[in-house]
Amino acid sequence: MKNTVRIYSNNLLHLYLMKRLFFIRLLLCQFFLLSLVHPVLAQELQKTPEVNEWWKAGVARAVITPQEYIWMAGYAARDKPAEGKLHDLWAKALALEDAHGNRVLLITTDVIGFGRDLSVSICDRLVREYHMERRNIILSSSHTHSGPVINSNLEKIYPPFNDNQRKQIENNQSFIEDQIITVAGRAISSLAPARISSGVGIARFAVNRRENPWDDESLYSPELNGPSDHVVQVLKVADPSDKPIAVVFGYSCHATTLDINKWSGDYPGFTQIELEKTYPGLTSMFFAGFGADQNPLPRREVSLAKQYGRELAIAVERVMEEPMKTLSSAIQTNYKEMELALSQPPTIEKLESVLEEGADWQKRWAETIKEKLASGEAFPDSYPYYPVQSWQLGEQTLVVLGGEVVVDYAFALRDTLGNDLMLMGYANDVMTYIPSERILKEGAYEGETSMWVYGHHGTWVPGIEEKIVHEVIRQVTQVRDKVLKH
């Protein structure tokens, strides 16, 4: 079936390249004729940026560090709430408008992930209050494991909360939601002429965590196993004098260097701080790529989080200092929520073995499923809201997926749509892990037990990778085509 996908997309890609070639020839031809008619005008055109390179951009940011020391997100092992902070957590917004008046909004946050309820609540307000279309909004999270608990995200791993703790979590969610609405409004109201460019760099600290259990000897091991994606994706927004006002960058690796009880954005937080020191006035915005099976290894020291943060900052800086691809001022977007099939729950025997041998959080999950089975409750056979989104910003394609997406999807999509893709995971709805066909078959955490962490009764079923990849190809083909027609 993979061959079918490849042939299908190769044809589309060929068509896309042919159209592009025709378009470039047409432009060259027009330019040649114009220069014959009016040499002075031709010289001016060479000096001045093309009108279609001018965008409008607006940037804003607000602190979202919780106002109380509430429970922290990401690990079952924490046994007390936050008790300090390394640095603030942020919500940041970038509004972009193209030469035709199309407007999009990218929100990045130092948050573990937004479940569907909170995401719908935030995005509905953005749609209503700023007259946006849903497909033109991306709500992304850095997946920091040093931020606050978000209600439905990883809900099964925490000890049961008392009423007061639950109230604190809900109050903090309202606070984050209000801050996001505010920064979005400020970004939109500050739209001003800008130029946008994109590029890629490299940073190598992501390690495949399924294949490389780390211990003291690993440092001296000459080989690392399993696939990793070390591409650093960069989008630069500059004012008319070419001063960078925002940089959006992505890397495919869990923000799990730290497990202490202090607020921080983990390594992406340190990268953002570093870049903002290097470029005064800059807002730097991190997004998590397809790194669900990747960890920064070794880890657990603040000094290591700083090291990885600086490594990533230097990689982004290098891209920003080199010539980047200038993007034509044209936006096309697509968004769809897909139905993905889920298996039925495990057998009573399997649940009982989890109840005997599992960790505390696994036992809590097994108990819940066992009770539901005993009461004869029906389990849904699908998750109907899996979000797939695509943006075409001039010549740059951005693919945005929900959930914790493993690295295999990066390779599958580049294989069919070309290397020049920005790939964002952990956006719009983080409902659980998204394994590839390979990892679903292999099982273990990313293929099986992570479903329990998110409270699901079963696992995804075979066919998930092909279904998602097909939808991305469909969307990307459509948005690329529409941009070329303008």
**Cα separation, 11 vs 431, whole angstroms:** 33
Site string for Zn ion, 402-441 (x = CB under 5 A): --x-------------------------------------
Q: Which is nearer to Zn ion, 126 or 258 (CB)?
A: 258
Interface region with Zn ion, contact rule CB under 5 A, candidates 6-14, 76-84, 370-378, 396-404:
396-404
Q: Which helix (H) or strand (E) holds 149?
A: none
Q: Is 461 exposed, middle or buried (0-12, 13-18, 19+ CB in 10 A)?
A: middle
Q: Which is nearer to Zn ion, 404 or 408 (CB)?
A: 404
The least CB distance from residue 292 to Zn ion, in Å, is: 6
Task: Name residue 58's beta-bridge partners.
Answer: 95
Interface region with Zn ion, contact rule CB under 5 A, candidates 190-198, 308-316, 400-408, 415-423:
400-408
The least CB distance from residue 254 to Zn ion, in Å, is: 5
Interface region with Zn ion, contact rule CB under 5 A, candidates 117-125, 300-308, 365-373, 399-407:
399-407
The least CB distance from residue 256 to Zn ion, in Å, is: 7
Q: Which residue has 């960058």 as its token pair?
A: 249
Interface region with Zn ion, contact rule CB under 5 A, candidates 116-124, 262-270, 397-405, 406-414:
397-405
Please report how many Cα atoms fall inside a 13 Å half-sphere around the Cα of residue 184, on the Cβ side: 28
The least CB distance from residue 439 to Zn ion, in Å, is: 14
Site string for Zn ion, 112-151 (x = CB under 5 A): ----------------------------------------
Q: Which is nearer to Zn ion, 144 or 198 (CB)?
A: 144
Q: Which is nearer to Zn ion, 229 or 404 (CB)?
A: 404
Site string for Zn ion, 307-346 (x = CB under 5 A): ----------------------------------------
The least CB distance from residue 297 to Zn ion, in Å, is: 15
The DSSP secondary-structure symbol of 454 reads T
Q: Give the total of residues touching Zn ion (CB under 5 A).
A: 1
Output the residue with the shortest Cβ distance to Zn ion.
404
Please report how many Cα atoms fall inside a 13 Å half-sphere around the Cα of residue 426, on the Cβ side: 30
Contacts to Zn ion from residues 78-117, by CB under 5 A: none
Q: What are phi and psi of 373, to 5 degrees?
A: -60, -45
Q: Which helix (H) or strand (E) holds 396?
A: strand 396-401
Tokens of 23: 């378009």
Q: Which is nearer to Zn ion, 407 or 417 (CB)?
A: 407
Q: Which is nearer to Zn ion, 73 or 473 (CB)?
A: 73
CA 179 to chain centroid: 20
Length of the chain in residues, anyone?
Answer: 486
The least CB distance from residue 406 to Zn ion, in Å, is: 10
**Cα separation, 117 vs 192, whole angstroms:** 33
Which residues, 6+ apart, have CB-to-CB distance to 418 below 8 Å? 13
The least CB distance from residue 468 to Zn ion, in Å, is: 18
Q: Which residue has 């025997």 as its token pair?
A: 349
Of 162, 254, 161, 158, whose CA–CA distance to 455 is shortest? 158
Q: Which is nearer to Zn ion, 142 or 198 (CB)?
A: 142
CB-based contact 148:109 (threshold 8 Å) = no
Paired sense of beta strands 421-424 and 396-401, if any: parallel
Q: Which is nearer to Zn ion, 98 or 404 (CB)?
A: 404
The least CB distance from residue 369 to Zn ion, in Å, is: 22
Contacts to Zn ion from residues 254-283, by CB under 5 A: none
Q: Is 462 helix (H, G, I), strand (E, B) or coil?
A: coil
The least CB distance from residue 446 to Zn ion, in Å, is: 9
The least CB distance from residue 404 to Zn ion, in Å, is: 5
The DSSP result for 236-290, as a single string, is EEE-TT--EEEEEEEE-S-S-S--SSSB--HHHHHHHHHHHHHSTT-EEEEEE-S
Q: Where on the chain is the footprint of Zn ion (CB under 5 A)?
A: 404
